[in-house]
Amino acid sequence: MNDFLFTNSIVDAGMYPVISASGETDCSHHTKPILAQGNCFSSYQFTSNAIVGGLSRPSSPPSDWPVGNWFPTPDADVHFVNYKNGNGGDYHLLPSSPYKGAGLDGKDLGADVDAVMNAFTEWNRSGERS
Burial 5-22 (b: 16+ CB within 10 A, else e): ebebebbebeeebbeeee
On the question of pLDDT at 25 being above 80, the answer is no
Q: 12: domain range? A: 4-126
Least confident of 24-28, 62-66, 71-75, 91-95: 24-28
Contact 26, 127 (CB under 8 A): no
Partners of residue 11 on adjacent β-strands: 51
Does the pLDDT value for residue 109 go beyond 60? Answer: yes
Query: What is this structure's pTM?
Result: 0.82
Q: What tens digit of pLDDT does each residue of 76-98 get? A: 899 999 999 889 899 999 999 99
Total of domains in the chain: 1
